[in-house]
Copies of this chain bind each other. A is one copy, B any other.
Amino acid sequence: MHFELLTKDPNTRARRGRLHTAHGVIETPIFMPVGTQATVKSMTPDQLRDLNVEVLLCNSYHLFLRPGQETVARLGGLHRFMGWDRPILTDSGGFQVFSLSSLRDITEDGVRFQSHLDGSTHFLSPELAVDVQIALGSDIMMILDDCLAYPATHFDAEHSMKRSLAWADRCHKHWAGATNALFGIVQGSIYPDLRRESAERLVAMGFPGYAIGGLAVGEPKPLMYEIIDQVEPYLPEEMPRYLMGVGTPADLVEAVARGVDMFDCVMPTRHARNGWLFTKDGHIVIKHSKYKEDPDPIDATCGCAVCQTFSRAYLRHLFIANEILSSILNTIHNLYFYLDTIRRIRQFIEFHRFDEILTQTRRTGAH
């Protein structure tokens, strides 16, 4: 994998780049839909390709538990398993271990946890986290990090950050020789000194990309943006930067303005299944009775396949009737909205006018 920096916006820190992987090129900034269990919920791979999805994120934690990375490997790897021939990024499993499982015990060695599916006990070490991702065959792997809840004291955040660094070092050593890329993850909660130390020591290890972790976990938005601002100068310009688990369309714009290249979030897909649909004028909640006989599309300015064909009235009917097609059509629309937002972001950077989209986003206050 290598990253090509194409151009920089003169008035912000926004960057336009290109990430070359074994499964093809990813234009950046990029939004990665989440395919937790080796499927983006309710989408076929064909539909994702029609949406011009360039890269997916899959969750190692889920695939480790079911069907198991060895099973996936014996079936030819994750790409073949799920019928997706474009790039895949996998997380390390750490975040889900900390958020989904019954946590049993965390030591310097790794983390022992109980499966949220059946209560079975497992142990995840930094080395195993890398091995799982190598078995899955993802194009971009993530180090195992210690995921701290918000808020945390400086003392706890420092301890956690240092453990993450130790694990990063073990992941880095274990990764040596693998063809998959491995990204480091900057931690340190909301403390600038810890964030700086984390970033500098990760950069000293030398990763082909860097993520900012531990954000969008409950802290106020301005604080999230501030942390990105503070971390960015310590990340090498020639490497991609990935803001994990973020966010709203406005978050994408704000983070791109601060030098971030990559995003993933369940928001477009999860919100779709809950009938929350993005539009250029804010969101609509499709179940509302005011849409019962509304013949208009979700968003008259939207170019997605759903807005070309279906009325809000039909989409409301499907949602109320609890039909699977509701999730499908809503997901197509919301993913299109996110990917269209990213395409607009790229264009504004190419024209060196990113401040315009930033101003516009802040003025409308949408999302």
- CB within 8 Å of B: which residues of A? 37-39, 41-46, 62, 66-67, 71, 74-76, 81-83, 292-293, 295, 305, 309-311, 313-314, 316-318, 320-321, 323-325, 327-329
What distance in Å separates the Cβ of A305 from its nearest Cβ neighbour in chain B? 8
What distance in Å separates the Cβ of A115 from its nearest Cβ neighbour in chain B? 13
> Please, which residues of chain B bring their CB within 8 A of the CB of A324?
39, 41-42, 324, 327-328
Q: In this complex, what residue of B is CB-closest to A314?
A: B81
Known: A37-B318, A42-B328; 6 extra A-B contacts, CB below 8 A, are A44-B328, A46-B305, A62-B321, A74-B293, A76-B295, A81-B317
11 A/B residue pairs, CB under 8 Å, sorted by A = A37-B321, A39-B323, A41-B325, A42-B328, A44-B325, A44-B328, A66-B317, A67-B316, A81-B314, A83-B309, A83-B310
CA distance A44 to B82 in the complex (A): 20
CA distance A76 to B318 in the complex (A): 17
Contact of A75 among B44, B82, B293 (CB under 8 A): B293
Q: Are A314 and B82 in contact (CB under 8 A)?
A: yes
Contact of A317 among B41, B67, B311, B325 (CB under 8 A): B67
Counting every copy of the chain, the complex holds 2
> Please, which residues of chain B bring their CB within 8 A of the CB of A42?
324-325, 328
CA distance A289 to B345 in the complex (A): 47
Contact of A295 among B37, B62, B75, B327 (CB under 8 A): B75
CA distance A83 to B321 in the complex (A): 17
> Please, which residues of chain B bring their CB within 8 A of the CB of A295?
75-76
Q: In this complex, what residue of B is CB-closest to A329?
A: B44
What distance in Å separates the Cβ of A42 from its nearest Cβ neighbour in chain B? 4
Known contacts A318-B39, A324-B327, A324-B328; A313/B67 CB under 8 A:
yes
Contact of A38 among B37, B45, B305, B314 (CB under 8 A): B314
What distance in Å separates the Cβ of A48 from its nearest Cβ neighbour in chain B? 11
Nearest 7 pairs of A and B residues by beta carbon: A42-B324, A39-B325, A83-B309, A37-B321, A67-B317, A39-B323, A75-B313
What distance in Å separates the Cβ of A181 from its nearest Cβ neighbour in chain B? 25
> Please, which residues of chain B bring their CB within 8 A of the CB of A316?
67
> Please, which residues of chain B bring their CB within 8 A of the CB of A293?
71, 74-75
Known contacts A67-B292, A81-B311, A292-B71; A38/B317 CB under 8 A:
yes
CA distance A46 to B45 in the complex (A): 15
What distance in Å separates the Cβ of A120 from its nearest Cβ neighbour in chain B? 15
What distance in Å separates the Cβ of A162 from its nearest Cβ neighbour in chain B? 36
CA distance A321 to B116 in the complex (A): 13
> Please, which residues of chain B bring their CB within 8 A of the CB of A46?
305
